Amino acid sequence: MLPKYEEAVKYFNMKRWDSALQAFQEVDASGFTSGEKADLAYYLGLCYTKLERYNDAVLYLEQVVAGDSGNLRICQCRITLAFIYLNTKRYKMADFELDRLVKGGVKSSQIFTMLGFSAWNQNQNERAVEYYEKALEIEASNTTAMNALGFILADTGQDADRGVSLCKQAVEKKPNSPSYLDSLGWAYYKAGDMNEARSYIRRALDLAPKQKEISNHMKIIVGGETP
């Protein structure tokens, strides 16, 4: 392998994304095989993702997923593409990538959690609950799915008590997470326990005073509006 390519991989493994990207861009790939070009596209796509240059990342990641769908690296690229689409609110495109993985037999807690997040953002609450339940069936300790499912169950009034229980479990695992504390405060509010609601929402706001959703929840809870 070319010295410049080896240097780029070294930077990549050190998580020096800017240096890795520059080095990969300087690689002369004119004599590369199709497999080596796919590897280069893979690294470039991930570097751009880490640097949050998502449009550039998609161009290279799409080159990788055009290959054999059974390749583990391609699975990783599909998940990365879904991550990008979720972060840029292109939920249908995220669903496409994730559904391809599920239909191909790749069913992980991470994938179902991402599908749940996408469904929730598209106001598909029942589907979101189903996906988060599947995520927890695979990995019972998945705090992201635990917290999200608890929030939805409480927020929609489906099962506020279970919502509190799930959010509480997430907080117990990650007690300094503002989003988890916020969810628990909101779940208690929806369950009608105002004292606990105020306690947890204040803790959440102390840790993340600039988060808009937490501030909005604080105004509602402390204002004493009816759940």
- Section 187-200 average pLDDT: 96
- The answer as to whether 41 is a domain residue is yes
C-alpha to C-alpha distance for 131 and 119, rounded to whole angstroms: 8
Q: Which residues contact 196 (CB under 8 A, 6 or more apart)?
A: 185, 188
- The answer as to whether 189 is a domain residue is no
The pTM of the full predicted model, rounded to 2 decimals, is: 0.90
What is the CA 164 to chain-centroid distance, rounded?
22
- The answer as to whether 21 is a domain residue is yes
Residue 222 structure tokens: 């402390």
Give the chain's domain count. 1
Q: What is the percent of the chain where pLDDT is above 70? A: 96
The domain containing residue 66 runs over which residues?
1-89
- Using one digit for the tens of pLDDT, what is the confidence trace for 22-80? 999 999 988 898 888 989 999 999 999 999 999 999 999 999 998 765 578 889 999 99
Burial state string for 165-182 with b = 16 or more CB within 10 A and e = fewer than 16: bbbbbbbeeeeebbbbbb
For residue 6, name the pLDDT band (cuts at 50, 70, 90): very high
Residue 188 near residue 200 (C-beta atoms within 8 A): yes
CATH for 8: 1.25.40
Predicted confidence at residue 68, as pLDDT, reads 60
- The answer as to whether 156 is a domain residue is no
Predicted confidence at residue 89, as pLDDT, reads 97
The CB density around residue 34, as the number of other CB atoms within 10 Å, is: 8
C-alpha to C-alpha distance for 3 and 11, rounded to whole angstroms: 12
C-alpha to C-alpha distance for 154 and 130, rounded to whole angstroms: 15
Q: What is the mean pLDDT of the chain?
A: 94
- The answer as to whether 22 is a domain residue is yes
C-alpha to C-alpha distance for 227 and 66, rounded to whole angstroms: 49
CA dist 173 → 113, 129, 130 (Å): 18, 21, 23
C-alpha to C-alpha distance for 222 and 219, rounded to whole angstroms: 6
What is the CA 35 to chain-centroid distance, rounded?
29
Which residue intervals of 51-193 are DSSP H helices?
A: 54-65, 72-87, 91-103, 109-121, 125-138, 143-155, 160-173, 178-191
Predicted confidence at residue 1, as pLDDT, reads 57
| Residue 81 pLDDT exceeds 70 | yes
- The answer as to whether 32 is a domain residue is yes
Residue 90 structure tokens: 């292109």
Residue 125: name the closest of 83, 159, 99, 171 by CA: 159
| Residue 136 pLDDT exceeds 60 | yes
| Residue 19 pLDDT exceeds 60 | yes
Residue 133: name the closest of 119, 76, 90, 91 by CA: 119
Predicted confidence at residue 71, as pLDDT, reads 77
- The answer as to whether 81 is a domain residue is yes
